[in-house]
Chains A and B, each alone.
Chain A
């Protein structure tokens, strides 16, 4: 059987590797961005000089031939589902028995005036990065539109080169659509500590100005202010990169529509990663696009198992994510929403200099079961947090054991007792933290051993 994969991102590559692990099927990966798989999440580090492009490749170049994964560095122009062939830009055709589409995302735009000018771009691909390197070599100011994860990474990139930045954020605080107020405030303040970053909250882009030669000379904000700049990064989110798929017979919504088996409307065609929009006809839950590294990786693995082993519905694990905002690390487990919904209670602690924060969200009912964790400037263990969430452990039990979740390196100050104290203060309870940070304690929690 010949399995062809479009896209050598984490979804496509995980599928290819897993198929190889599980079977002897012929595997071909076609991708137009780069010949070899690299880590998209590391783009910022290339720009800042922490890593070279070479170092962002998770596998050495010999890996692919050795594992009999054929790489085709070409662009798919059209997909013919009736004859099961792909037409490539180079003119050649490629037949498949099964096709996995993992074409990822592209930066979203909102049809702003001037968005196609030179110096205006999103940041997604290697090509985008090269363009950004070239345009910012001599830039005097950059404007970033959109206060999300890629926006703040772009700000950090420019900051590393001492290029002054105007950072336009629509919300009241940075990423306040996802982060609760305390977290969003903490990061907002942290951004402002960086000289040369002019953070404009509740400000949007109105239009981008042409210098007369087709390049950007500045922007106008929603409040009418004109800001001169040579570089504009549009980081208002991503959308599935599926023009080629739309032109085929495969059904698309916002993304490529798939069921819980990642099957598309065409037979033997699957879709995974950022480009897939999963529907849940039975439960009537809203369809879902998960533009995340971890999700794409899980999708790729699931599809490979579906093809090589048995057809099984995608079992989404307890949610987790992480990021780094300049110097503050962030990890989240389970559900922590920006605005607390009814039926949820939350407890939060942060240190005096606003660099560390712990939050637990729990059910506002008799069970008091924990629903989610947010940590900033502190590292928490995924397995322990997930264990508590999945077992619906009560917040009080979690608090007494909380040290077991701490994943900071040795000698780092532990802050779990502060959260327990905060809980006691608010509820009048008298809980005591029984476990400190250690692998032994983490294992004890996971295996259900009582606190010492």
Chain B
């Protein structure tokens, strides 16, 4: 009988999981099989439509692709409410080829990355695919779809559909249910429907849930002047709203609730990460090295965006006198490297490989600002419940921000980290009830 001290000394440096062991155990129910087929069919129709095969039948194309895929996905996910008892559902994640960086994960990653590349730089190849969003676009905005409307539609569908999954999966936690509903509703209303309706009414497309520095052009001098000078009261309101959110709401709300009020309750990027990204959250790197890289990168982006906006203002105040084209070039560079390449291609495309919050962790300047407030002027912290931690590592593993939560918990310390988005998953997955997201006195949060 094997035991702690083997008579013959067998050193072990890993647990070897045989292939037969990691086979998926649950046979899909017939309904879910059909649903999966519908989803794949929808996807295929969408891709085939990219060749222009269905240009003659736009409505059919739309229903056959987006409609079918949505139906399939929902039919696939809804039975989870019956199959999942309230509780933790992490069985087999580390054996999964999709969720643990297997070949399938790379395929999904490459597919998503490729889509972003087309979207940002080769939209002409998407011309036919865009037609799939036409019916919706006409209905909501009164005009034909463009690549961004298609993107917005796919994005919102992903958040809604995978939001259903998130709720099914974490439904033992009211915090997770309410928070997921919140990100889904904010995405659907404020980042999709309202901007569309604004366009229908010939108003500028405006996102009430995005502010500078995430939406860097909302504080660009040209924009600010244009909006402020507009006779349209709504436009004046929009630009002032953006400023209030950046300069007043951001520090105040973060003081009271931590950055979670935005990152895991409101923000669309966060919304996608918390829903579509949830299956991949465990792939974020927890090493100290990753934390170092993260700090370098995110604060560099913050400096980049701040200096860019600053330059634009200086240049605009001097009517282009000193800096000339430089500030514009600087802004273009930012928009290319950060706005497109980082936030889209890498930030979302790499979900399956680097975890769900690649952009939020390494690139988002909004997260950087919120994080500085959270770390230094906030009532928010994750409390550790005395000495109850058993160092199991569930919290660290399932932290999408790559925070080594355990390293604090096992020392009985509060977790006060700039990057924590307050998703609450560490607290949900802890098997010993060690962690709780709390707001309390700002003083004395951090152990000296």
A residues sitting closer than 8 Å to B (CB atoms) are 10, 32-35, 39, 41-42, 45-46, 48-58, 60, 73-75, 89, 103-107, 109, 115-116, 120-122, 124-131, 133-134, 136-138, 160-162, 193, 241, 243-244, 293-294, 297-298, 317, 320, 322-324, 326-327, 329, 331, 379, 381-383, 386, 407-413, 438-440, 443
Contact = CB atoms under 8 A, between A and B. Distances in A.
B91 A241 contact: no
A41 B392 contact: yes
Interface in B367-412: 383, 385-388, 390-394, 396-397, 406-407, 410
Given A381-B386, A407-B433, A409-B424, 4 more contacts: A136-B21, A241-B5, A293-B390, A408-B436
Contact of B90 (A48, A73, A294, A440): A48
The 3 closest A-B pairs by CB, nearest first: A382-B386, A439-B440, A379-B433
A329 B95 CA distance: 26
Interface in B390-448: 390-394, 396-397, 406-407, 410, 424, 427-428, 431-433, 436-441
Nearest to B10: A127
A49 B4 contact: no
Contacts, number: 214
Given A34-B13, A297-B387, A379-B385, A331 B433 contact: yes
Nearest to A157: B91
Interface string B17-29: 1101110011000
A413 B91 CA distance: 27
Contacts of A54: 14
Residue among A33, A162, A243 with max Cβ neighbours from chain B (10 Å): A33
Contact of A46 (B3, B15, B25, B407): B15
Contacts of A379: 385, 433, 436
Nearest to A327: B87
B9 interface: yes
Residue among B13, B286, B393, B397 with max Cβ neighbours from chain A (10 Å): B393
B172 A327 contact: yes
Contact of A60 (B3, B172, B287, B432): B287
B317 interface: no
B2 A131 contact: yes
Contact of B437 (A58, A317, A410): A410
B86 interface: yes
Contact of B9 (A32, A138, A161): A32
B233 to A, nearest CB: 38
A54 B397 CA distance: 10
B174 interface: yes
B236 to A, nearest CB: 37
Contacts of A293: 390-391
Contact of A48 (B91, B96, B386): B91
A134 B208 CA distance: 55
B92 interface: yes
Contact of B174 (A32, A129, A412, A438): A412
A130 B16 contact: yes
B175 A412 contact: yes
B3 A383 contact: no
Contact of B1 (A35, A73, A122, A439): A122
A137 B18 contact: yes
Given A53-B14, A60-B287, A32 B5 contact: yes
Nearest to B440: A439
Given A50-B93, A51-B397, A60 B440 contact: no
B443 to A, nearest CB: 11
A42 B90 CA distance: 14
B286 to A, nearest CB: 8
A45 B432 CA distance: 13
A49 B15 contact: no
B391 A58 contact: yes
B11 interface: yes
A49 B87 contact: no
Contact of B387 (A53, A294, A329): A294
B265 to A, nearest CB: 12
9 contacts: A32-B11, A33-B5, A42-B393, A58-B407, A133-B18, A137-B21, A381-B386, A407-B383, A411-B175
Nearest to A117: B1
B29 to A, nearest CB: 15
Contacts of B85: 193, 327
B387 A382 contact: yes
A121 B2 CA distance: 7
B249 interface: no
B199 interface: no
B1 A121 contact: yes
B12 A439 contact: no
Contacts of B91: 48-50, 160
B300 interface: no
Given A46-B15, A73-B11, A243-B5, A56 B433 contact: no
B432 A324 contact: yes
Nearest to A379: B433
A49 B383 contact: no
Contacts of B222: none
A409 B175 contact: yes
Interface string B27-41: 000000000000000
Interface in B289-346: none
Contacts of B383: 407, 439
Residue among A10, A104, A133, A322 with max Cβ neighbours from chain B (10 Å): A322
B94 interface: yes
Contact of A329 (B92, B174, B431): B431
Residue among A32, A50, A57 with max Cβ neighbours from chain B (10 Å): A50
Given A115-B1, A379-B433, A34 B12 contact: yes
Nearest to B17: A133
Nearest to A322: B432
B395 to A, nearest CB: 11
Contact of B385 (A74, A89, A121, A407): A407
Contacts of A74: 9
